[in-house]
Amino acid sequence: MTAIGGITWNGQNSADLGLAITYDSSQLAGGLFSSTLTQIGGQSAAVIQSNNRFDNVSQVFNFTTYRPIQQADIAPLHRAVQDWLFSGMDLSQYQILAFDGYPDYYWRAVPSALTPFTMNKGVITFSVTFSCLPYAYETGSDKYQPVGTGSVINNPRLYSALPLWHVKGTGNGSFVLNGTTYNFLGLNGDLYVDSETEEVYDAANNYQPSMVQFDNYAFPVLDTGKNTFGTLTNITLEVMPRWRTLL
């Protein structure tokens, strides 16, 4: 058993709890394209019906305590782990999960399983399963960067980005991206446009779908390659790109 490093979740690293990941029994899961295969009589190849998505990924981390502990320490450690996993955060939303062995990326995840604790010769072992979005996101790409008329953002990656946009203004405004105009109606300060969840909300976290006017309700994305911004009208604009790659 090789115990090295850990994960950061809920603002705390597992090492702070005296835990390490057992690398020789932990594996990194990968994304899987969702499709349904149907066998047809008289045909030797199954018919593929694409679901046009990648499924969530179940990522299991196997933990062990760094040093031998007493029987009386099991219950306090169990409570501490439960608090770390489940308390003080909105588990109706995916949250950031970082893995020491994958420092250039982070996942967006929610805990989905916690096994019973097993004690053997003073060492506790257990596993935590996270349900992760099928993409890993580049560390640092969750920061806003300003955008102006004529700005160019290059995306050399294989996948388009579904950013979080911060729009600020009063009244009606718009911006142009790659020749498409995105309109905003009745602005009164800050508005946030999440192209991943396709949600629009204000600074008070109130849902505001009527404040945007997008062609076919298609949210703005950063395509692979060159992304050019045209005229910004009556707004200031920031973008959090959230660059991603498939797990």
Q: Where are the domains positioned within the chain?
A: 7-138, 145-246
- The reported pLDDT for the residue numbered 1 is 47
How far is Cα 66 from Cα 247, in angstroms, rounded to an integer? Answer: 29
State which amino acid sits at residue 62. Answer: N
pLDDT confidence of residue 46: 80
Q: Which residues of the chain have pLDDT under 50?
A: 1, 3
* CATH code for residues 7-138: 2.40.30.200
Using the structure block, give the residue that is written with the tokens 């018919």. Answer: 47
Same fold, 7-138 and 145-246: no
Chain segment 134-157, per-residue pLDDT in tens: 999 999 999 999 999 999 999 999
CATH class of residue range 145-246: mainly beta
> Can you give the pTM of this predicted structure?
0.83
Residues 6 or more apart from 247 whose CB is under 8 A from it?
28, 29, 30, 31, 57, 107, 132, 134, 135, 136
